Structure formats: C-alpha cells, structure tokens
Amino acid sequence: MTQFVGILTAGGDSPGLNAAIRGVGKAGIGAYGMQIIGFRDGFRGLMQDRTVRLSGPALSGILTVGGTILGTSRDKPNKMPVGDQTMDMTSVMLETYQKHHLDALVCLGGGGTQKNAYHLSQHGMNVITLPKTIDNDVWGTDSTFGFDTALGIATEAIDRLHSTAHSHHRIIVVELMGHNAGWLALGAGLAGGADVILLPELPYDPEVVAEAIRSRQRRGSGFSIVAVSEGALSKDDAATLAKAKAAKKEAEGDKKSKAKARLAKLELSLQDKTLTLSRTLESLTGLESRVTILGHLQRGGTPSAADRLLATRLGTACAAYIDQGVFGVMVAARGDGAEAIPLEEIVGKRRTVPVDHPWIKTARDIGVCLGDK
C-alpha cells in the first residue's frame, strides 16, 4: 500500500536542507514506493495548503544547493500571525494533513521545530523530524547538518582576518552565530587560530581578556584575534541578566508585566555587546580594535561534503523509519548510523558546550584565553 509523506523545512535556513529533502525523497520513492509532497515556507505552508510535488525531477540537482527549495519561516502552529492577530492554527494544519491522506509529516529544523513538531504529534499527526542548525545545539544528536559548512566558512573568515590584524597591529573581534551555544565560535576559533574565544557557556571578564592581549604584546605579538559567540556575555552582564530573568519568573500580575518589560529592555541593550567589548578592549590595551560580524554569511552557499553526507544518511534513515511506522521521533546522528529519539525527550533541552568538553581543554592547553580566568 502506497504511503503518502509530506515534508517541510522550518526555522532558519541551513546548508544541507536540500540534501536531506533529497535523501528522504529518493529513498522514500525508490526504496519504499512512497509519494512525497513538500509544503512551502514551513508550518505556514502547511496551514495554507501550499504544496509542491517532490518527484524525481524536483529532487534532481539539489544536493549541492544551499538554503531550501521549499522555503522556510519561523511561524509556530499554535502562535501563527494571521492578519493583526496571533492564532492557534493547529486544527487547520490537521485538516491539511488529512486532506492529503498523509501517513507521515517530516519536519526539518532546529530546537524550535522539534518543539512545534511534538505539538503536532500530540494532535494526531504522525510526525518525524531531522536535526538541522548551524549552531549544533539540538539535544539528542551527535551533530546537526549545517554545522560543518558554517564551521568551514567561519574558519576561513578568521584565516583571512589574520593578515589584516597582523599588518595593522590590531585587535580583530569576530562575532559568530550562537545565541545559547558556543560550538561554532569554539570550533572555528580553534581551527582558525584565534587567541581569545568567548562563549555563552563561560561568562568572561574583560580585564582577563585584555591581560591576555597585553601578554601577547609583551611577547612581541602586536595583534590578537578574538572569536566571540553572539550570545557571549561578560560576568557582570550575565549576572544582571540572570537576576532579571529570575525576577520575571517570580513576579505575578502587574509586577510580572513590569519585570518582563525590564528584561526586554535589558536584552535590547545587550544587542551591541560585541561592539561594547571591542571598545573596552581598545581602551584597556591601547590597541586599535575592529569588529567583523559574520552574521548570515555563515548560513549560505554550497553545503560541505560532510553536511551532504550527514543530511543524506539521516534522510534515508527517516524514510526507513516511516516505512517501519516509527513516529513521534527525531532521527539523530549516532556515530556512523542513526537513532530514533522520542520528541518528548528533546523538547525544552539544548545541547550546549560542556565546560569540561575536550575542545575546551584543548583551547586551554594551547594557551587560548577563554575569558574566565
């Protein structure tokens, strides 16, 4: 009996999404005789029933293409902007699912997508997910596709910045993506030879960072590269933010609204923290400091061979799990294989860098300053 499968991509775009779509589609069609359709622009496309047939021609030539042929959005099923309102459109999505007689819905995305997929699974859909994000912070998987490509791009950027930093005797502060997890900054910082690496997991002391740079000066190195996650905070800022979050959690009624507003204001003020760090280091060291924010550059372009391979093998494993009737799970990378992890075990968790991780020890052993001591 033919199985009907829908696919959507949600959240931020990421290298390897098309490779994963191709993996699910080719294996589903060729090995299991499935019929595949894609929903455009994430959960919004599922709500609006905007589809595309993913047959052989549609899956041809997309392995090396960045982004996603289906488009994506950050819309949530139960908090969907509709006109000037925010509505729960779960029931509408269920109608679309049933209209197409779907046996499964495949959702490709990061932590937020896992949560949204779990929500749909609780409302009657057979859901299965694949983990993508350049931040590498999805809990339960060894790695996410998109990370290796972004790591290569970030490393190359740091490589290129070495020459200008050396020529002008400057501090170059490079901001990399990673609001809550420092995998990208840590990996690229190590691979690119950064002198300082600052992570969300390790609040830093600007004076410690400045002293590390001054120490390099005394040894004859007139420049320094500082790789910093966008979510990295100084110890003072981290303490202030933690206090504001605790106040919001404890407050009730009108006090909760005021606490929420204070937290939002604080978070807004911290958006320029990398620029603030640059100015602080310039003042403390006497060296000219410049900021490079890589931003969305890290998400773009052709996926690396490693990401194509990971996305393809997780995609084919996904098709096999659908054929076996395994749903409500994320297809996680485990060594060279794959494992189905229940979505209920993933929701609300994040894979951050452990402070005793081997990469952290490696950085300390080669003299990289992590800003904490």
Region class of 205: left (phi > 0), else alpha (psi between -120 and 50), else beta: beta
Q: Do 192 and 227 form a contact (C-beta atoms < 8 A)?
A: yes
Same domain, 111 and 234: no
Same domain, 155 and 293: yes
Q: With 90 as the cut, is the pLDDT of residue 261 above it?
A: no
Number of domains within the chain: 2
Q: Do 116 and 77 form a contact (C-beta atoms < 8 A)?
A: yes
* SS3 category, 228: strand
Same domain, 165 and 282: yes
pLDDT digits over 122-175, tens only? 999 999 999 999 999 999 999 999 999 999 999 999 999 988 888 878 999 999
Range of the domain at 221: 150-299
Average model confidence (pLDDT) across the chain:
94
Alpha carbons within 13 angstroms on the beta-carbon side of residue 26 total: 18
Same domain, 118 and 190: no
Q: With 90 as the cut, is the pLDDT of residue 255 above it?
A: no
Same domain, 133 and 198: no
Same domain, 311 and 181: no
CA angle 196, 201, 203 (to 5 degrees): 65
Same domain, 295 and 211: yes
What sections of 100-146 are H helices per DSSP? 111-121
Rounded average pLDDT over 353-363? 97
Considering the domain boundaries, does residue 201 fall inside one? yes
Considering the domain boundaries, does residue 122 fall inside one? yes
Q: With 90 as the cut, is the pLDDT of residue 26 above it?
A: yes
pLDDT digits over 69-97, tens only? 999 999 999 999 988 889 999 999 999 99
Same domain, 102 and 223: no
pLDDT digits over 288-342, tens only? 999 999 998 888 889 999 999 999 999 999 999 999 999 999 999 999 999 999 9
Considering the domain boundaries, does residue 162 fall inside one? yes
Same domain, 238 and 186: yes
Considering the domain boundaries, does residue 360 fall inside one? no
Same domain, 41 and 141: yes
State the sign of the Cα–Cα–Cα–Cα dihedral 79, 81, 87, 90: negative
Percent of the chain with pLDDT over 70: 100
Laid out side by side, the sheet with 289-293 consists of 196-198, 224-229, 171-176, 289-293
pLDDT value for 260: 85
Q: Looking only at Cα atoms, what is the longest distance across the chain?
A: 74
Catalytic residues: 135
Same domain, 154 and 295: yes
pLDDT value for 83: 86
Considering the domain boundaries, does residue 368 fall inside one? no
Considering the domain boundaries, does residue 60 fall inside one? yes
Q: With 90 as the cut, is the pLDDT of residue 254 above it?
A: no
What CATH code is carried by the domain that includes residue 235? Answer: 3.40.50.460
Alpha carbons within 13 angstroms on the beta-carbon side of residue 309 total: 8
Considering the domain boundaries, does residue 355 fall inside one? no
- Of 15-19, 126-130, 257-261, which range is least confident? 257-261
For residue 280, give the DSSP letter.
Answer: H
What CATH code is carried by the domain that includes residue 91? Answer: 3.40.50.450
Q: What distances in angstroms separate CA 278 from CA 36, 45, 70, 226, one per listed residue?
A: 50, 42, 39, 9
pLDDT value for 253: 80
Same domain, 281 and 234: yes
Rounded Cα distance between 133 and 17, Å, is 10
pLDDT value for 45: 96
Buried b (16+ CB within 10 A) or exposed e, 24-53: bbbbbbeeeebbbbbbbbbbbbbbeeebbe
Q: Do 199 and 154 form a contact (C-beta atoms < 8 A)?
A: no
Considering the domain boundaries, does residue 313 fall inside one? yes
